[in-house]
Structure 1
């Protein structure tokens, strides 16, 4: 036994010398630093700069992360395993900004039951804290931080300077061991300005200037879960969180939320398109094991809008959403009212794959808006129904649509829309069973029906092409940038005149061009009439009575009709020639607003002229004769044959030659027929 004690004594003496001697302390410093580094998290570096260990006293100076100086000194009893020490933490600033750390505190208790307290300055604010470490379990945690600097906090956590403001943190947690006991935590974010430049650089987001955010969050904390409720508000939107729980073990987050955006126009940096109105969405958010699910419901546009999104799939459903509110949302005037039902299913968001369908109910136009904004006047609301469905595959959207209304029916079965370059191509069928219902839009009475087959294209601007055989022959048109160009070939003039609700004057096949500027309401019409035949009308009846010539029996093979349109005024020019007859309307005007005509006419029949005016309502105008060489000759012949010689003598004409008499009367009649 004596030998054993002697050996132990020999071993203890040098160890004690090593521990309690200054040189021994120097040897221990790197080992202590390494030990502390292993106990600390986040790869913090520890450099022990001074170490002194006596039997009941310890001093240690260390540098943490080359920034923060730590000093601790006080009584430490290895035999009773107790300590009573004071410590300080000091730092003159971080790498990119000034942030003084100056904290004083105490360590009191035993190695198995230690009380830690501290107070001072950090994050440009005052902090005080206290906690108890018992059997390696932290209890009775109390932390109060008032007006902490957010920019400093972001820097401390190696984050970008996303914001500049102040934050209060108050924590009171009894224990993490007993799950039945819950602590409390309160976070108050004072008015904090978001850094627009940093957001643009890091997230490519153009935040509005002076975006301010505040928050007030209350939490209950236990060993395994966090429960919190609170409000996060800004001048852009607000987010209310409730029933929020986070499980530390499963790392599962559950929360109910209400998102409110009072002015959607302020969120253009997210939507990339200016939106109007306000939005309120309520729903749930679930996050677990790197997967999430976001559910929401909104009644902001009347009806309901529901969605379910998990980052990979999206399901969205609209039920009886108001059309006028959707139009207002995208910046359009309320051209229509009614309900929209829609469903969007994206089965693969990454590759943009899915289906959709849209329909309307109780839909009708709002005539006041159409008249004011688009100068389209239906005089009353027009009921319509829309049905559309399609597929989305990568960047290609394929659509089938039908639009039925009181005025027209539209169908497109093969619309293709490229999302990447925003181009569209589609064929369509447009049926107008009663053109009379377009009278107010056309600015004049219409009748009959019309069927158009065509194609539309969109690339930066909309272009529509169409073709119709409803009037016989072909009518082909192109509409782009509000310019309408129409080619007409072998169209029945009778059918065209019938559609335009004008009196039937000619029977012919029409070939021509019509060019019209929809914005200026100006255009030109040039045409020729093939195999033209004049139909019976007031003028042909009058000519037949006077001349005995039936103009309807003639065939006019050299015929043209031209017009210049300027809003409601149509200036016309017409010429028709047959073997024996030349018929002209050299200068004429039609007023669509009053449905009147005012034109001169000239008719030459076998070198005999008849001229006059056609005026009044276009459906039944007044036709007058103002000059006629044929009538003059008739009157002269009548004078010669019917006036007695005594009468000529009384007039002093008995000695005049016949030709002289004719010239005199002709001049007189010419004055009358001017």
Structure 2
């Protein structure tokens, strides 16, 4: 038994001596340096070299280069047995892309920081400065058992384009970000602190965004905002005020579950001038709109919204790519005005929209309530040859079915009053090119005719098919009488103007 005890003791002493010789002597330090260099340089395009490595029971000194322009230096007191540390460090990396093997992500740009680490295993303090994202950054981190506890972070004027470049994204935007964090406890189950983020002088790079996202931004798109975040156990609660030249977004409470990464938030989107959305929608609009709602993001994205707009109400839901909306009591005349379409009809809506954003395809189905024509070129033509005032007819229910396929809207419309029946089957509107092509079939007290509406939406051409009029009993004398009536009022030859409305 004694031999076994002394044998084991001797073996343990030999092992401790070997470890000491390997780790804490000049020869051992050299061996460690060689092994580390060899392992690191297995990565291609990396020229890692340890210029100096000294580790004793009380000191550490480390000096290495990744390439001729990048350097890592660490020096100071390090006590293995008392577990205390008092070191200074200086890290300067000119090309982060060479670290892709270790980061598992392509990084760009440069990074530098220097500071000190002082304390023991119970409590240590990490303090330093950095130029990350070309900012002026200071940090002060308390470590308990060498785990972050209290964190003070002050980042000033971080460049948005540098952030994007560092994570290997195109420089879609420029601007400055300031971040001030005071985290009293960084443990997730005891999280406590505040983070304030300010974005200033933000500008979108139209050329890059248009290229990668197939958009047509022309006007300068600027943005700024603030995010105030309260940290609680397993949660981050944020208030957001975000302003752009297109619209403003306000969030009273965004609730992020940091454990399960579930996001819940309210929002209010305010567009003061719809005309500024043209670059995004490629649709000419005017007026303003405000939308309130809530968002939930877990494995799916769910967005609910509500707006009181154009004398009515719009309620919608977005589930991933599927968008649905109920459009109730919206005034059609105001919709036409908002879209710069001819203001020819007034009514209230009861419509349902189902649309897939990814496919850009959907259907709009429903009714227009108590519709009535306003005076326009079409009603004037009917008044002239049929002696009938179309604007006095009321259409209690107008059936509407529309299919939307990207920028093409095809619609069928059926409307009936006491004395008229009007059917459109189908009409085609090209929102991208602002064009319309529609055939309107009309029956007024037994007089049937077709009207062709085509051309630019803001000023379309209107032509009546006289063959249908003749077939329905409206003889050529009606046309001649109308021409004579116009000539009496406007002068000789003016009746020929009527021919432009007929085939």
TM-score computed with the length of structure 1 as normaliser: 0.60
Instruction: Tell which deviates more after alignment, 481-490 or 225-234.
Output: 481-490
> What's the secondary structure of 2:394's corresponding residue?
strand
Runs of 5+ consecutive residues of structure 2 not aligned to the other structure: 98-106, 493-503
- Report what 2:262 is aligned to: 252
> 2-side partners of 1:66 and 1:381: how far apart?
83
| 1:73 aligned onto 2:58 | no
Q: List aligned pairs for 1:409-428, cutoff 5 A.
A: 409-412=421-424, 415=426
Given the alignment, which residue of 303, 320, 332 partners 2:312? 303
2:228 and 2:83 map into 1 onto residues whose CA distance is 39
Q: Is 1:12 the counterpart of 2:24 in the alignment?
A: no
Matched, 1:174 2:184: yes
- Go from structure 1 to structure 2 and tell me whether the alpha carbon gap of 1:490 and 1:2 turns closer, same or farther (over 3 Å shift): closer
Match of 2:354 in 1: 345
- Measure the CA separation in 2 of the matches of 1:430 and 1:47: 84
Within the alignment, does 1:27 sit opposite 2:31 as a pair? yes
Residue 205 of structure 1 aligns to a residue whose secondary structure is: coil
**Change in 2 beyond 3 A, CA 1:333/1:233:** same
Per-residue deviation, 1:393: 9.4
Distance 1:333 1:393 in 2: 20
Note the 1:634-649 alignment, pairs <5 A: none
User: Partners in 1 of 2:119 and 2:226 — Cα distance?
Assistant: 37
More helix by share: 2
- 1:119–1:129 contact (8 Å) kept in structure 2: yes
CA distance, structure 2, for counterparts of residue 256 and residue 231 of structure 1: 12
Equivalent residue, structure 2, for 1:269: 279
Q: Does 1:56 align with 2:67?
A: no
In terms of Rg, which structure is larger?
A: 1
| In 1, Cα distance between equivalents of 2:29 and 2:415 | 91
Pairing partner for 1:164 from 174, 183, 186: 174
8 Å contact 2:453–2:463 — kept in the other structure? no
- State whether residues 176 and 223 of structure 1, in contact with CA within 8 Å, keep that contact through their aligned partners in structure 2: no
* RMSD, aligned CA: 4.4
1:321 maps to which residue?
330
CA contact (8 A) 1:304 1:321 kept: yes
Partners of 1:99 and 1:124 within 8 A in 2: no
Q: Which residue of 2 aligns with 1:84?
A: 86
| Alignment-derived partner of residue 285 in structure 1 | 295
SS of equivalent residue, structure 2 residue 90? strand
Bigger shift: 319-328 or 17-26? 17-26
- What do residues 591-627 of structure 1 show as CA deviations (whole Å, max 9, x unaligned)? 25599xxxxxxxxxxxxxxxxxxxxxxxxxxxxxxxx
SS of the counterpart of 1:207? coil
Point out which structure has higher relative CO (alpha carbons under 8 A, 6+ apart).
2
Tell me the matched-pair count: 466
1:358 is the counterpart of 2:366: yes
SS in structure 1 at match of 2:260 = coil
**3-state SS of paired residue (2:189):** coil
Q: Which secondary structure does the structure 2 equivalent of 1:179 belong to?
A: helix
Q: How many Å apart are 1:58 and its aligned residue?
A: 0.3
Structure 1 residues 168 and 34: alpha-carbon distance in aligned structure 2, compared to 1, 3 A threshold:
farther
Match runs of 1:54-133 below 5 Å: 54-63=56-65, 69-92=71-94, 101-133=111-143
How many angstroms does 1:80 deviate by?
A: 0.9
Confirm or deny that 1:496 pairs with 2:414. no
Cα deviation, residue 83, structure 1 = 0.8
Aligned-pair distance for 1:486? 4.3
Q: Secondary structure at 2:21's aligned position in 1?
A: helix
Change (3 A) 1:31 1:397: same
Gap change, CA 1:230 and 1:489, over 3 Å in 2: closer
SS of equivalent to 2:171: coil
Q: 1:343 Cα deviation (Å)?
A: 1.2
Q: Residues 499-578 of structure 1: matches in 2 within 5 Å?
A: 568-569=486-487
